[in-house]
Amino acid sequence: MTTELAIRAQFLTKRYGATIAVAGIDLAIPRGGFFGLLGPNGAGKTSTIHMLSTLLRPTSGEAWVAGYAVNGQSLAVRGSIGVVFQDPALDRSLSAAENLRFAGRLNDLSRAEIHRRSTELLELFGLSEQRDVPVASLSGGMRRALDIARGVIHQPRILFLDEPTIGLDVPNRRAIWRHIARLRAELGMTVFLTTHYLEEAIDCDQVAFLSSGRVVREGPPRTLVEQLCRNILEVETDQPAQLAEQLEPRLGAALIEGESLQFRCDSDPVELGSLQAELASKAKAVRWRRPNLNDVFLWVNRPPASQKRRAA
Amino acid sequence: MIAAARPILAVLEREVIKLLRQRWRLLSSMVRPMLWLLVIGAGFAATQGRSGSGNYQTFLVPGVLGMTLLFGAMLAALSTVYDKESGVMRMLIIAPIERYCIAIAKALAAMLSALIQALMLLVLLSALGYVSSQLSIPLLVLGLLGTALVCASLGMLVAAWSRTLENYAGMMNLVIFPVFFLSGSLYPVHQLPLPLQIVASLNPYTYGVDLLRHASIAGPAAASAADFAMGRDLIVVIGFSAAALIVAGLRFSRDAVSEPLVHRLAQNR
């Protein structure tokens, strides 16, 4: 069974002293899959990637990557994967092409192979003109693109991307997603992604929400969004708790996020005008919108009503 | 190890590219020994009241050659600490090679970097007439390799235990200078006061420099100034280096090295 899956984990756990970073997660990711591990900072995403890529030893549990056990077959695992860390794994003093050559040689590629693949990858990522430019002189977006090229120069079967778009502006984030889509289309590699920009994971085949080291919800992202509701009613107000109490009998459970009060609505929306008139004195704005993955995560992690009231 | 030949060569190649790009580093590796030889060598000779500074300077030639190897290899080996902080160590730890190979590769790169600098100094020394035609080339090669090996191994041992670059600056003063001054580089060990003699005999670098003395770089008089038998030099050099590299390699193989590294990388944002 392990050979059919690109990644399998059973009760994978990581503790740092008394802190539990990853609290026994199970994973089953098929070959060629596009998997997103989602959650806020500190949820345990990076620790999970580091365990799967043999950089951290699991405290307990077991995982198989490309059919090899992370405990005991670490060289075979590292030979089958590419990892793009949150911080670039590049030598700032070397040029783009020299970095790719260094990474290629570390992965035991011949000079000819390295030359061919680095030319292709620089072309694919729009970096051909930056070939001989030192990494220190590249922009943040170019550096991230080069780092991804570095991670796939040896054509790994599985690519781990830890927050590939963190710290980038919107055009660069889009460019990075285009690169990843091309890599999947052209090389057919399995991609394991973490991100806390949840909306970016909508194209994944499968996502899992991680909270305090546990998987709290998983499934295909569009299905998760559809299952949440058809529409979200969002009320902007400085009295969210009061309004929640007033509207909950009619609109169902409320979610309070700062000054925003949200309801899930599956039926046809209540006439927006009448609600606006009703809330005129208390609400700054009332609007309907489509739910997204962010909403799924917020509703999964919604505090129980009693706590919510006290917090508000 | 054989499977790791290409990765090791990659680390060596990177070291050479970087060395040749850092002109200031090459220049300072030439200026430092020349200052010792020409300024301090002449000054010491004058205070000793010897007729002509030639004798002490002749004695000093293997010492300054050793100095270039010591600084070259130690700085290159200690750059491992910098690699841990920059992205390079991430590339190394994710590569499909055993972790101890990283320590071996870095040690070999440090040796190579030091030897390139020592050869440049040798060219300079011979242009200035400090290299005797009677030198023994096989012994010189042995001395250069042995000293570079000792210094690179010592550097890897220190690098395996240091975490940050602040340590790295401290290492310069706490490791490199004591190793240099408490050796036979500047004075014959047997003429030192007993406590210093003991310390110098415990310093593995002393035996590397002593090997260089056996090569008669500046003439046969210099070879007679060697403190120890060549066999003893070789045993200490090889024994120490092997032990240091095994310990550094084990240290690199343990999770303890990469774990705080990746953990810190994950937290610092």
Q: What is the pLDDT of residue B209?
A: 93
| Chain A positions in Cβ-Cβ contact with residue B259 (cut-off 8 Å) | 55-57
**Residue B143 domain-assigned (yes or no):** yes
CA B224 from chain centre, in angstroms, equals 23
- d(CA A8, CA B205) in angstroms, rounded, equals 51
Q: What is the pLDDT of residue A270?
A: 63
Q: What is the pLDDT of residue A7?
A: 96
The residue with greater pLDDT, A260 or B163, is: A260
Cβ(B51)–Cβ(A139) below 8 Å: no
Q: What is the pLDDT of residue B190?
A: 87
Q: Which of A127, A35, A86 is nearest to B90 (CA)?
A: A86
- d(CA B179, CA B176) in angstroms, rounded, equals 5
The residue with greater pLDDT, B264 or B246, is: B246
- 3-state secondary structure labels for all residues of B6-32: HHHHHHHHHHHHHHHHCHHHHHHHHHH
- d(CA A163, CA A38) in angstroms, rounded, equals 10
Which of A55, A76, A102 is facing B262, going by the closest CB pair?
Answer: A55
Average pLDDT over residues B13-38: 90
Residue B87 neighbours by CB distance under 10 Å? 21
Contact yes or no for A46 and B86 at CB 8 A? no
Q: Which of A256, A251, A260 is nearest to A312 (CA)?
A: A256
Query: Helices H, strands E: what count in chain B?
Result: 14, 0
Does the pLDDT at position B169 exceed 50? yes
- d(CA B72, CA B114) in angstroms, rounded, equals 4
Average pLDDT over residues B82-98: 87
Q: pLDDT below 70 — which residues of chain A?
A: 1-3, 268-272, 304-312
Q: What is the pLDDT of residue B53?
A: 44
Contact yes or no for B92 and A88 at CB 8 A? no
What is the CATH superfamily name and number for domain A2-219? P-loop containing nucleotide triphosphate hydrolases (3.40.50.300)
**Residue B267 domain-assigned (yes or no):** no
- d(CA A15, CA A57) in angstroms, rounded, equals 10
Query: Which 3 state secondary structure label does DSSP give A191?
Result: strand
Cα-flanking dihedrals φ and ψ of residue A208, to 5°? -130, 135
- d(CA A63, CA A162) in angstroms, rounded, equals 18
Q: Where are the domains of chain A?
A: 2-219, 225-311
Each residue's pLDDT tens digit, A278-302: 777 788 888 888 999 989 988 888 8
**Residue B178 domain-assigned (yes or no):** yes
ipTM summary value:
0.85
CA B60 from chain centre, in angstroms, equals 17
Q: Which domain holds residue B94?
A: 5-262
Does the pLDDT at position B52 exceed 50? no
The residue with greater pLDDT, B154 or A275, is: B154
Each residue's pLDDT tens digit, B97-107: 998 899 999 99
Query: Which 3 state secondary structure label does DSSP give A200?
Result: helix
| Chain B positions in Cβ-Cβ contact with residue A150 (cut-off 8 Å) | 91
Q: Is B17 an interface residue toward A (CB < 8 Å)?
A: yes
Cβ(B44)–Cβ(B36) below 8 Å: no
Nearest-CA distance A88 → chain B (Å): 6
Sheet holding A19-30, edge to edge: A19-30, A5-16, A60-65, A68-69
Contact yes or no for A89 and B87 at CB 8 A? yes
Give the residue on A whose Cα is nearest the Cα of B263.
Answer: A47
DSSP structural state of residue B83: H
The residue with greater pLDDT, B269 or A57, is: A57
Does the pLDDT at position B256 exceed 50? no
Q: What is the pLDDT of residue B269?
A: 36
Q: pLDDT-derived band of residue B255, with 50, 70 and 90 as boundaries?
A: low
Is the backbone of residue A48 left (phi > 0), alpha (psi -120 to 50) or beta? alpha
Does the pLDDT at position B260 exceed 60? no
Q: Which of B24, B84, B90 to mutate to test the interface with A (most CBs of A within 10 A)?
A: B90
Average pLDDT over residues B120-147: 91
For tokens 């009503």, the residue is: A305
pTM: 0.86
- d(CA B92, CA B98) in angstroms, rounded, equals 10
State how far the alpha carbon of B111 is from the alpha carbons of A129, A276, B74, B250, in Å.
Answer: 35, 76, 9, 20
Q: What is the pLDDT of residue A230?
A: 87
Does the pLDDT at position B179 exceed 70? yes
Nearest-CA distance A99 → chain B (Å): 9
Q: Which of A20, A46, A55, A144 to mutate to test the interface with B (most CBs of B within 10 A)?
A: A55
What part of B 210-229 touches A (C-beta under 8 Å)?
none
Cα-flanking dihedrals φ and ψ of residue B136, to 5°? -95, 115
Average pLDDT over residues B99-120: 94
- d(CA B95, CA B263) in angstroms, rounded, equals 18
Average pLDDT over residues B42-70: 78
Q: What is the pLDDT of residue B8?
A: 94
- d(CA A248, CA A306) in angstroms, rounded, equals 13
Is the backbone of residue A44 left (phi > 0), alpha (psi -120 to 50) or beta? left
